[in-house]
């Protein structure tokens, strides 16, 4: 805490992992002897840089750029870039820290990192977004590469931004190094299913949790917060699996559509026109209603899938969900549930799929994109989706197995944290004191 003052989200993420791995440390004194915990909490490298850019009126703006290269014991640093005004070092470090264990859990050869900027893309023109991305990459390019650090998207960074970032990287370096960034468009080295992967993966994970309890999505009412990349593709897959997504949101409020979200309309409003969710409600006529400025978790449902941002689901929200009959929670976002919320869910026996496990499908599919780039190959949608589903099933099974092994049956938090930690810790031990 003294070393990282004011980085509250980072402290929260570290605390969650450390609380879970006590039993492992008891069984493996070698981790403590070589100070694995202290080493794993200290990023290998942190880069902070100035991002100057000019808006359409010619006014100059200065933003701050970040890339935290947290841990490369398992492979090149891998993790997204977030553009949001709330971004500061504590957010980037929490995301980078979580990424280490998530990436480990996928079983794929990727280390952990994260980056971004406090730039606010809202209300900016396409040309402003492009200029910002170009300026950002003009510094970032010297730190990344196929074998060193491979960024991707996150909040505020989707296919459009990845295109501008990759374009500038290519221009500066004169290298068509497709594997330097993932989430690319299909016409220039992107992979099938990457756009859908986090949401689809999260739905697959929840399906496994429900199956383990002898039930399924069939006929269940599902609430998905957010209406960005993760929320949209979570909704798509949940609908395909038989659930009814009845609500979604953005930072202005939430929409309830009792008959089920009209996905084509949602995509048109959010992906094509980049408008707010209240527009969705207006265009649905009397079918849907918009509720401004309140918590989406007051909408009764059997499955909750927080897919917007960190700390969006409080202890009180969790109590409301439990009271309303919620049986499963799958975190599409990173650390969306506050610690009191997690406690409420665990005590109530709700199946709780934490982000590290439930949303790992995005980064796993990014690693598959890297594989395809390295072999100059491209796989079909069906094959890629099957791989994603296998990976999510495997993560689910390993969480349960590890939780069992350590005497905490059904505890996905313990299972994911312990399994993710062990693989990284063992690799760090093998690599010596570095
Ligand atoms: P997008 O930018 O596509 O969408 C974010 C959504 O969340 C928007 O609807 C946004 O609403 C809402 N949101 C963001 N910040 C806030 C806030 N402070 N309060 C309320 N609502 C907010 O991002 P993604 O869908 O890509 O990411 C969503 C979450 O999923 C993040 O936690 C991210 O880290 C995580 N994640 C994403 C992965 C990916 O592959 N993209 C992979 C793994 C995890 P508004 O437009 O009003 O801001």
Domain ranges across the chain: 43-191, 195-358
- To which residue do tokens 């309309």 refer? 265
CATH of 195-358, picked from 3.40.50.720, 3.40.30.10, 3.30.70.120, 3.40.190.150, is 3.40.50.720
How far is 226 from 306, CA to CA, in rounded Å? Answer: 7
Q: What spacing in Å lies between the alpha carbon of 312 and ligand 1's midpoint?
A: 11
| Ligand 1 atom 4 nearest Cα | 228
The kind and range of the H/E element at 292 are: strand 288-292
Exposure class string for 289-319: b at 16+ Cβ within 10 A, else e: ebbeeebbbbbebbbbbbbbbbbbbbbebbb
Q: Is 93 a catalytic site residue?
A: no
Q: What spacing in Å lies between the alpha carbon of 282 and ligand 1's midpoint?
A: 23
Atom of ligand 1 nearest to the CA of 84: 15
Mean pLDDT by 10 residues, the chain (434 residues): 92 96 92 95 98 98 98 98 98 98 98 98 97 98 98 98 98 97 97 98 98 98 98 98 98 97 98 97 95 97 98 98 98 98 97 98 98 97 98 98 96 98 97 93
Across 22-86, where does the E strand assignment appear?
45-54, 60-71, 77-83
Which residues' Cβ are closer than 6 Å to ligand 1?
153-156, 158, 198, 226-231, 250-252, 307-309, 332-334, 359, 362
Q: What spacing in Å lies between the alpha carbon of 153 and ligand 1's midpoint?
A: 10
Query: Furthest-apart CA pair in the chain: how many Å?
Result: 64
- Fold agreement between 43-191 and 195-358: yes
Atom of ligand 1 nearest to the CA of 183: 40
pTM across the whole model: 0.97
User: Are the CB atoms for 117 and 157 separated by under 8 Å?
Assistant: no
User: Are the CB atoms for 316 and 290 separated by under 8 Å?
Assistant: no
Q: What is the pLDDT of residue 103?
A: 98
How far is 189 from 146, CA to CA, in rounded Å? Answer: 13
The number of beta carbons lying within 10 Å of the beta carbon of residue 244 is: 20
User: Are the CB atoms for 326 and 302 separated by under 8 Å?
Assistant: yes
Among 145, 77, 157, residue whose Cα is nearest residue 109: 77
Phi, psi (degrees; rounded to nearest 5) at 24 = -70, -40
Q: What is the pLDDT of residue 285?
A: 87
Structure tokens at 178: 């497709």
Q: Which of the 8 DSSP states describes residue 337?
A: B
Phi, psi (degrees; rounded to nearest 5) at 80 = -80, 180
Catalytic-labelled residue, pool 78, 93, 102, 114: 114
User: Are the CB atoms for 206 and 243 separated by under 8 Å?
Assistant: no
Atom of ligand 1 nearest to the CA of 157: 2
Assigned CATH topology for domain 43-191 = Rossmann fold (3.40.50)
| Ligand 1 atom 38 nearest Cα | 154
Q: What spacing in Å lies between the alpha carbon of 333 and ligand 1's midpoint?
A: 7
Instruction: Give the orientation angle of helix 194-212 with respect to helix 229-240, to 10 degrees.
Output: 50
CA dihedral 128, 132, 134, 135 (to 10 degrees): 140
| Ligand 1 atom 13 nearest Cα | 308
């Amino acid at each position: 805490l003294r070393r990282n003052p004011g980085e509250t989200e980072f402290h929260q993420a570290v605390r969650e992992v450390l609380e879970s791995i006590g039993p492992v440390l008891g069984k493996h004194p070698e981790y403590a002897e070589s100070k694995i915990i202290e080493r794993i909490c200290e990023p290998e490298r942190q880069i902070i840089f100035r991002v100057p850019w000019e808006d359409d009126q010619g006014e100059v703006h200065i933003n701050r750029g970040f890339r935290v290269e947290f841990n490369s014991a398992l492979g090149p640093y891998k993790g997204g870039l977030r553009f949001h005004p709330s971004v500061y070092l504590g957010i980037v470090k929490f995301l980078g820290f979580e990424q280490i264990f998530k990436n480990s859990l996928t079983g794929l050869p990727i280390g952990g990192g994260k980056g971004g900027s406090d730039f606010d893309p809202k209300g900016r023109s396409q040309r402003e977004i492009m200029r910002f991305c170009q300026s950002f990459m003009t510094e970032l390019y010297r730190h990344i590469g196929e074998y060193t650090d491979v960024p991707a998207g996150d909040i505020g960074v989707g296919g459009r931004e990845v295109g501008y970032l990759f374009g500038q990287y290519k221009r500066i370096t004169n290298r068509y190094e497709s594997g330097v960034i993932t989430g690319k468009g299909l016409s220039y080295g992107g992979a099938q299913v990457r756009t859908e992967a986090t949401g689809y993966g999260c739905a697959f994970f929840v399906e496994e949790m429900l199956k383990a309890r002898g039930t399924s999505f069939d006929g269940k009412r599902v609430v998905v917060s957010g209406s960005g990349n993760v929320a949209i593709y979570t909704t798509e897959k949940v609908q395909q699996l038989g659930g009814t997504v009845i609500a979604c949101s953005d930072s202005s409020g939430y929409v309830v559509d009792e008959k089920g979200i009209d996905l084509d309309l949602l995509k048109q409003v959010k992906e094509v026109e980049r408008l707010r969710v209240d527009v969705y409600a207006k265009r649905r006529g009397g079918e849907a209603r918009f509720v401004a400025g309140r918590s989406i978790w007051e909408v009764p449902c059997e499955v909750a899938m927080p897919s917007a941002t960190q700390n969006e689901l409080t202890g009180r929200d969790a109590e409301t969900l439990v009271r309303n009959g919620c049986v499963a929670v799958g975190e599409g976002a990173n650390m969306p549930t506050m610690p009191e919320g997690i406690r409420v869910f665990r005590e109530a026996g709700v199946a709780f799929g934490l982000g590290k496990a439930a949303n790992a499908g995005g980064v796993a599919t990014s690693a598959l994109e890297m594989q395809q780039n390295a072999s100059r190959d491209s796989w079909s949608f069906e094959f890629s989706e099957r791989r994603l589903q296998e990976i999510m099933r495997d993560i689910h099974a390993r969480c349960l197995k590890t939780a069992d092994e350590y005497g905490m049956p059904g505890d996905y938090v313990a299972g994911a944290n312990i399994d993710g930690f062990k693989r990284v810790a063992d690799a760090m031990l093998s690599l010596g004191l570095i």
